[in-house]
Amino acid sequence: MIVANNVHKAFGPLQVLRGIDLQVKEQEVVVIIGPSGSGKSTFLRCLNLLEEPTSGVITIDGMCVTDKTADINRIRQNVGMVFQRFNLFPHKTALENITLSPLKVKGIPLQEANAIAKDLLAKVGLSDKETSYPDQLSGGQQQRVAIARALAMKPKVMLFDEPTSALDPEMVGEVLTVMKDLAREGMTMVVVTHEMGFAREVGDRVLFIDEGRVVEEGTPEQIFGNPQNERTRAFLNKIL
Amino acid sequence: MYVLEIWQEAFPVLLVGLRLTIELTILAVLFGCVIGLIVALGKMSRMSLIKIPSVIYVEFFRGSPLLIQIFLVYFGLPKLVGHPLNQFWSSVAVLSLNSGAYCAEIFRAGIQSIERGQMEAARSLGMNHIQAMRYVILPQAFKRVIPPMGNEFIAMMKDTSLVSVIGLVELTRSGQLIISTTYNALEIWFVVAIFYMIMTILISEFFVNRMERRLQAGDRS
C-alpha cells in the first residue's frame, strides 16, 4: 500500500531524514515512535507531500507521490491525515467540516454528503454535535471530528501525526478508542505517537526512528519486550 | 443668531458636496477591496511574474503621497492619452488605486494570520490551493480584516478631501467655494469638520455592529 524508499529531507543545512525506508501492507497498522526532533513527524508529512522530500521515492496505492507530474490532490484524497492540533475549520460546524471536501472536491450531492457525515459522526460517538462549532467542542471531541473528516474522503490510508499529544489526559482514551475501532475494521494506518500502550495493542509493526534513520523495526513484542538497539532501549527506558 | 444664518445658507451647498464625498468613498473602498484582494494574493504568489508587479504596486501607492498621485493622474495622464480626463472618474481611479494598496496589505496580513495548519488540513483533504483559499482560508481571513478595513474606510473617507485640489466639488471643495464668497472661514470649516466626523462615527458604528452580529453567530473564530 505504501512504499517509501531512501527518503531524505533537509531544511537548509539541517538533515532531518537521512534515508528512511518503509513498506506498509494493506490493513497493516504501523506505529512510528522516537524522541522529539527525530524526524518521525516530518517523515509522516512527506508521505502526503505536506513536506517535499529532498530525495527518495514514495508510492502510495501504486501512485508515485514524489513524481513531479503526479496529481497530488488526487493522491491526497486516498490519504487521510489527522493532525496533532486537530486543525478543524473554525468557521464551519462539525458536520460542515466533514462535508466540505466531499462536496467541493468530489462533487458529491449535499444530501449524500450529509448522510455520510452523519454516519461518521455516529461512528466517532458525536451524533449530538452536528451543529457545534469547533470551539464549542473539547479537544477529544475535536480530534474525533477531525478523524471523521478525514474518513469522509474514503481514504485507503490514514496518517496520524501525534493525534493525542495536544489532549488533556482524560481525553486521550476516547480518541484512541476510535483509532482502535478503525484498525479493527482493517484500515491501513501509519501512526506517529507517544502512546506506547496503543502501539503495543494495535500496532502490527513498530518503527523506532532517531536522528532521521530507522534504528529498529519489529513487532511490538520485539521492540518493547526485547529491544536490540542501545538507543531504542535508552528511549524506552525513559518513557515507559 | 448670525452663525445659524451662515450655516443655514451653507447647508444645501455642503450637502451636495457631502453626497459626492460619500460616493467617492464608497466607490474607492469597493474597488480598493477588489484590487486589494487580487494584489494580496499576487504578493503571496510564488510566481515572480505576478509577485513583483504586485509588490511594486503596493510600494508605489503606499510610498508616495496621495496628493502627488492625484496630480499625476489628473494632470499627467492626459499628456499620454491626448485628452483631459473626467474629474470624477479620475478621482475614483486614483483613490481606488491608493486604497487598493492599503487593502492589499490588510488582506495579506489577514490571510497570513490564519494558522498554517488550516491550509495543511485543507490540502490533506484533497483540495487544491484555490479551493483551500476559497473555502477555508479566505472566509476566516475576511472576519479578521473587518476591523482594519473599518479603519481603511475611515481613512479613505477623509482622504477624499484631497481631490478638492483638482476642482471636484466634494465636501471640502464646497466649503472652500462658500468661504471664497462669504469669508466665513471659521464657521464653515468647523461645520465641514463636523460633517467628516459624523461620517467617521457612522462608519465605525457600522463596522462595530457588524462585527458584533458576526460574533454572536456562535462562531468566535
Q: Is A107 on the interface with B (CB under 8 A)?
A: no
- CB contact (8 A) between residue B125 and residue A150: yes
- The whole-angstrom distance between residue B163's C-alpha and the CA centroid of its chain comes to 14
Of A198, A186, A162, nearest in space to A83 by CA: A162
What are the CA-CA distances from residue A14 to residues A52, A209, B78 (Å)? 14, 17, 57
Label residue B221 by pLDDT band (50, 70, 90): very low
pLDDT above 70 for B214: no
Pseudo-torsion of CA B99, B100, B101, B104, nearest 10°? 120
The ipTM is 0.92
Average pLDDT across chain B, whole number: 92
Q: What nine digits make up the cell of A127? A: 451524533
pLDDT digit string (tens) for chain A, length 240 residues: 999 999 999 999 999 999 999 999 999 999 999 998 899 999 999 999 999 999 999 999 989 999 888 899 999 999 999 999 999 999 999 999 999 999 999 999 999 999 999 999 999 999 999 999 999 999 999 999 999 999 999 999 999 999 999 999 999 999 999 999 999 999 999 999 999 999 999 999 999 999 999 999 999 999 999 999 999 999 999 887
Q: Which three cell numbers stand for residue B150?
A: 473599518
Confirm if B170 and B164 have CB atoms less than 8 A apart: yes
Q: Is the pLDDT of residue B218 over 60?
A: no
Residue A105 to residue B127, Cβ atoms within 8 A: yes
pLDDT in tens, A172-198: 999 999 999 999 999 999 999 999 999
* Contact at CB, B124 and A76, closer than 8 angstroms: yes
B43 closest CA partner among B116, B135, B111, B114? B111
**Among candidates A223, A224, A65, which has minimal Cα distance to A157?**
A65
Torsion of CA B50, B52, B54, B56, to 10 degrees: -160
Give the whole-angstrom CA distance, residue A146 versus residue A152.
Answer: 10
Q: State the Cα–Cα distance between residues A116 and A112, nearest whole angstrom.
A: 6
- Are A192 and A3 spatial neighbours (Cβ–Cβ below 8 Å)? no
Q: Do B124 and A150 touch (CB under 8 A)?
A: yes
Asked if A129 is an interface residue toward chain B (Cβ–Cβ < 8 A), one would say no
pLDDT in tens, B155-186: 999 999 999 999 999 999 999 999 999 999 99
Mean pLDDT of B96-125: 96
Chain B CB contacts of A101 under 8 Å are 122, 125-127
Q: Give this prediction's pTM.
A: 0.87
Number of Cβ within 10 Å of residue A238's Cβ equals 8
Contact (Cβ atoms closer than 8 angstroms) between residue B58 and residue B44: no
Which pLDDT belongs to residue B213?
Answer: 72
Phi, psi dihedrals of residue A208, rounded to the nearest 5°: -105, 120
- Are B124 and A82 in contact by the 8 Å Cβ rule? The answer is no
Q: What are phi and psi of A5, to 5 degrees?
A: -125, 120
B contacts of A89 (beta carbons < 8 Å): 118, 121-122, 136, 140
Q: What is the pLDDT of residues B13-67, one digit of tens each?
A: 999 999 999 999 999 999 999 999 999 999 999 999 999 999 999 999 999 999 9
Report the alpha-carbon distance of residue A90 to residue B9 in Å, rounded. Answer: 55
pLDDT tens digits along B53-62: 999 999 999 9
Whether B211 shows a pLDDT value over 80: the answer reads: no
Residue in chain A closest to B134 (alpha carbons) equals A104
Which DSSP helix (H) or strand (E) runs through A31?
strand A29-33
Check residue B216 and give its pLDDT.
55
Answer whether A166 touches B (CB < 8 Å): no
Amino acid symbol at B175: G
Pull the grid cell for residue A43. Answer: 517523515
What's the pLDDT band for B215 if we cut at 50, 70, 90? low
Termini Cα distance of chain B: 54
- Give CA–CA dist A210/A230, Å, rounded: 12
Q: Report how far residue A150's alpha carbon sits from residue A101's, in angstroms, rounded to the nearest whole number.
A: 9
Tell me the CB-side half-sphere exposure of residue A28, using CA atoms within 13 A. Answer: 19
Contact A108, A116 (CB under 8 A): yes
How many CB pairs below 8 A link A and B? 73
Helix%, strand%, coil% for chain A, nearest 5: 40, 25, 35
Strand partners, A160: A82, A191
Number of Cβ atoms within 10 Å of the Cβ of A154? 12
B219 contacts A87? CB cut-off 8 A: no
In terms of CA atoms, which chain B residue is nearest residue A51? B120
For residues B149 and B106, the answer to whether their CB atoms sit within 8 Å is yes
State residue B212's pLDDT score: 64
Tell me the one-letter amino acid at A128: D
| pLDDT value, residue B217 | 55
**Cα A196 from Cα B98, distance rounded (Å):** 58
| Partner residue facing B219 (CB), from A81, A106, A133 | A133
SS3 content of chain B, % helix, strand, coil (to 5): 85, 0, 15
Sheet containing A213-218, strands listed edge to edge, beginning at the edge strand earlier in sequence: A79-82, A157-161, A188-192, A29-33, A205-210, A213-218
Residue corresponding to grid cell 445659524: B4
Half-sphere exposure for A78 (CA within 13 Å, toward CB): 17
